[in-house]
Structure formats: structure tokens, C-alpha cells
Amino acid sequence: ARMMQEARYTEARQVELLLFYRFAIAPRLGPKPTSSEPWFKSRVAPGVGDGSPIGYSWRWGTGGKKPLIRHYIEAMGPLTGTEADPLNESASKEMLLHLGKILPTVSLPLAWKFAAHIRPTLTDDVTRKAAASSTIIGVQCAPDSDSVEVMATLMTKSPSQIKQLLNTVFPKAMRDAYGEDASLDCLDMVRDFIETDSDGKNLIMLGTTGIDCCAAENSRFKVYVTTNSTSFDHIAAVVTLGGRKPESPESIAKLKDLWYGIKGLAPDFPTSSQSPPRINGVVNANISGVTFYFDIQPRYA
């Protein structure tokens, strides 16, 4: 409620989204906590580490646009945390089905098709030990819409499967989801950058894939990667895919201002250098890298 108020959502939209939260989200967050130690540690916001099944965030608007409020949810149900459902799939599937029924803009066929390709196969000890929750649901609540956008985030921690995502898993999933004649040019560009570019080689595949739950002609899937490098040259290389998707000098300059502001760097700090451990003699707590995602859609090739 506080986020919507601060983001200047209309009262009608606030009421609408609060009711959506009350009846579509809250019942799927599990029982009320009884201690500081969660009975099931969700994979939502792993950096926070408190095990909460929901994360709250927003995407800043540009110019005079209002922010877009987002939630990331790991649904919980009767089988959550049991050997019967080690990937905690049942509750997430039930929630996606429910959202597909109550939100007219939500379409699920692509999510189901991608899930079949990305789902870990728990047939060996290595994969079973690495396994964790396989699905997180994202909802985006725009201020000027009468609906809610939904994304299914599919995850695999299987080391062998992560290695195969770009070359094997994604091409098969794309042709299954978008059609046998779907263009792979967009995926090929991302793969070429990650496999051959010096900056791309520094990226770490996370095994996380986001699927827009909407009509296939508009649905994108997101490939999540992370990097430990904090030099601006590296950040700019990732954003432009090493020059494969060029940006204007003005956009790069704005990105530099943003990055230097976030990292607390002086304007003359070298763009090729990593964030220093100390700034003006004070320990710099903001030296971590960043997570990126690449949007892929055959129509945008």
C-alpha cells in the first residue's frame, strides 16, 4: 500500500491491486511465521537471505512516468518443503493457472513449453543435491492499466544443464514454443557474445530464465547472467553486447553517470578500473558486481 501511494497510483488502482494481493497472492504465501527462522527458505531475493516468499520492488519510470510496482513470489502449498515436491512446483503451477483464469491478458502455453525443457531431471545425486525451487512468479502492476502482467521465472541449478542452455536447451525450447521456423538470430547474438567476447566470457550463467506470460508474438524470454566485474567499460560492453547492439554516445554517457553515482566514484575515475575497496579512506561497501538479463524474442531478431 505504501509503495502504491508513494508511486502516485490513483486511489481506484490502489484498491484494485490491494484486493488482487489479498485474494490472489496472500493465500499462497504459506502459514504465518512463528519464529525468525523460516520453515521453508524461499529462493526469492537470495541476496537478502531471510527466506521470505515475496519480494517487493519497482522499476523507475523515465521523465514524468510513474514507477511500475513489481512483486516476486514463490507460492507455497501443502507439498512445499516435502520430498513429494522437491522443486516446489505444485503451488507455483496452481498459482499460474489461477492467474491465467482471472487475468484476461495472461497466456500460459509458452511458460509450460519452456518449463518442460528447463525443468531439472532429478535422476542422479549431483542434480538432486543442487536442486532447489524451480519456479518464481513475477507480477508487474502498472499504474495506468486495468490488469496485471505476469512472468514465470524458471530455474535450474543442475550444473550440466546450465552448460547446455545456450547451445541446446534454448534452441529446442524456442522452436517448441514459437514454432519450428522461429528465428534464432537474437539468441545466436547473445551466445556469440558470451562465448567469444572477452567481456562476455566473464559473465556467469545463473540457470534462471524468465518467460512473459502473454501472447506468443509478444512474449520474450529473459536469460539471466551475473558478473563480478565493476569496471564501467565492462558494464557498457555487456549492455551493448560488445558493440553488437550499439547505443548512442548520449545513452552511454547517461549510463556512466548512473553507474558512477551508484558506486560513489569520482567523475575522473578510470572507466577500465574496478571499484576501489576504499573511497576517501572509508571502506566502500558497494563493490559487488551486477546481474543482467538479455531479452530474447524471434520477432526482434
Digit-coded pLDDT (tens) for 255-281:
999 999 988 899 999 999 998 887 777
The pLDDT assigned to 44 comes to 84
Q: 272 in helix, strand or coil?
A: coil
Q: Taking each helix axis from N to C terminus, what angle separates 109-118 and 170-178, rounded to the nearest 10 degrees?
A: 160
Please state the domain extents for the chain. Answer: 1-32+49-230+283-296, 232-274
The pLDDT assigned to 286 comes to 66
Could you tell me which residues are beta bridge partners of residue 297? none
Please report, as a single letter, which amino acid is at residue 223. Answer: V
Please report, as a single letter, which amino acid is at residue 138. Answer: G
Quick one: cell of 40? 521453508
Closest to 257 (Cα-Cα) out of 249, 247, 248, 267: 267
Residues in contact with 248: Cβ distance below 8 Å, sequence separation at least 6, in sequence order: none
Q: What is the distance between the alpha carbons of residues 137 and 233, in angstroms, rounded to a whole number?
A: 33
The pLDDT assigned to 234 comes to 97
User: How remote is the C-alpha of 276 from its chain's centroid?
Assistant: 28
CB-based burial, 158-175: b 16+ in 10 Å, e otherwise: beebbeebbeebbbebbe
Residue with cell 514459437: 178
Closest to 258 (Cα-Cα) out of 82, 215, 126, 250: 250
Residues in contact with 172: Cβ distance below 8 Å, sequence separation at least 6, in sequence order: 117
Closest to 203 (Cα-Cα) out of 157, 169, 234, 167: 234
Quick one: cell of 207? 540457470
Q: 241 in helix, strand or coil?
A: coil
pLDDT of the chain along its 301 residues, tens only?
Answer: 889 998 889 999 999 999 999 999 999 999 888 887 888 888 886 555 677 899 888 887 667 788 899 999 999 999 998 989 988 999 999 999 999 999 999 999 999 999 999 887 777 777 677 667 789 999 999 998 889 999 999 988 777 889 999 999 999 999 999 999 999 999 999 999 999 999 999 999 999 999 999 999 999 999 999 999 999 999 999 999 999 998 999 999 999 999 999 888 999 999 999 988 877 777 666 667 789 999 999 987 6
Q: What is the distance between the alpha carbons of residues 48 and 299, in angstroms, rounded to a whole number?
A: 36
Contact 55, 48 (CB under 8 A): yes
Closest to 299 (Cα-Cα) out of 177, 137, 145, 122: 177
Q: What is the DSSP string of 240-297?
A: TTTTTS---HHHHHHHHHHHHHHHT--TTS-TTSPPPSEETTEE-S----EEEEEEE-
Q: What is the distance between the alpha carbons of residues 212 and 284, in angstroms, rounded to a whole number?
A: 37
- What is the layout of strands, in order, in the sheet containing 68-73? 54-59, 68-73, 135-141, 149-155, 204-212, 221-227, 290-296
